[in-house]
Structure 1
Amino acid sequence: MELMITVVIIAILAAIAWPIYSKYMVKTRRVAAEGCLSEYANYMERYYTTHLRYNNDGATPPVANTKDLANLSCAGNSQTGRFYTYDLPAASLTVSAYVLTATPQGVQATGDTKCGKLSLDQTGARGADGTDPGSCW
């Protein structure tokens, strides 16, 4: 009887703790992705400082693209790469503007409907396309 009571108590505690832990992990991964977007923004600003433009005019080396973005350590599988993919959409890349995006993948996508895809542009404007984007950053 005592063993059964102990098992019931542990089950109740687990039922309470697991959802809280899951929400914490989703939020932690999101904050890590936001930090990674900031790293990419720093990369873009360094490129702009050197070439005075964000896009490629043919005479300068190519600007960051999805392949280059994947080379930053924050996007590796040991960091946020298993939960987010990072992109610099070509349509957003001009002489004076860019928009970086972080799209949740797998378990992060299903657990983080509140924020969804995160974005950061050259002005530092932050965005999210989830159900409650105001509380994401």
Structure 2
Amino acid sequence: MNNKNKGVTLIELMLAVAIVGILAAIAYPSYSRYVLSSHRTEAQAALTRIANLEERYFMDANSYGTLQDLHLTATSAAIYTTDNGYYQVSITPSSATYTLTATATGNQVGDTDCQTFTLTQDGLKTSSSAAASICWH
């Protein structure tokens, strides 16, 4: 009599679960870092957009403006939240200079390499990272 086993044994099933668990343990942290770094573009885009608005405002008023002057909806008098809420942008204006700072909020705080981005009227780009090129690429 020919006795062929059909189906999966418990050992085979446990081995497959262990392999999937190991792959997930390796892949998930890498994926999380990728997602956080991809959200950095939101800070870069917001700072560039607001810098353009500042330059336009300067052409008309001969000084740099606040968020209200630029007609940006602010969560408070000096804070603007980006579209997806990953960063909060603040402006420090004067008549001849401004400094824009984007600070990570919510889950984006987990991006320890680039928690803050700064842009000035001279186009100087800095970040909380040791090398701004890591964040502003």
TM-score by length of 2: 0.76
One-letter code of the match for 2:44? E
The gaps in structure 2 that reach 5 residues or longer are 1-10
Alignment of 1:14-93 (within 5 A): 14-55=24-65, 63-64=69-70, 68=72, 70=74, 75-76=82-83, 79=84, 81=85, 83-89=86-92, 93=93
Change (3 A) 1:105 1:74: closer
The answer to whether structure 1 residue 98 and structure 2 residue 98 are counterparts is: yes
Computing the radius of gyration from Cα coordinates, the structure with the larger value is 2
Structure number having the greater helix percentage: 1
Report the Cα offset of residue 118 of structure 1.
0.7
The size of the alignment, in residue pairs, is 121
Encode CA deviations 1:53-100: one digit per residue, 9 max, x unaligned: 2148xxxxx634xx83539x9823xx2x2x2111113xxx11111001
The gaps in structure 1 that reach 5 residues or longer are 57-61
Query: Could you say which residue in structure 2 is the equivalent of 1:135?
Result: 134
Change (3 A) 1:53 1:99: same
Q: Secondary structure at the match of 1:113?
A: coil
Change (3 A) 1:38 1:45: same
RMSD: 2.4
Give percent identity, aligned residues only: 36
One-letter code of the match for 2:27? A
The answer as to whether partners of 1:69 and 1:86 remain within 8 angstroms in 2 is no
Q: Secondary structure at the match of 2:100?
A: strand
Query: Could you say which residue in structure 2 is the equivalent of 1:112?
Result: 111
**Larger relative contact order (Cα-Cα within 8 Å, sequence gap ≥ 6):** 1
TM-score by length of 1: 0.76
Structure number having the greater strand percentage: 2
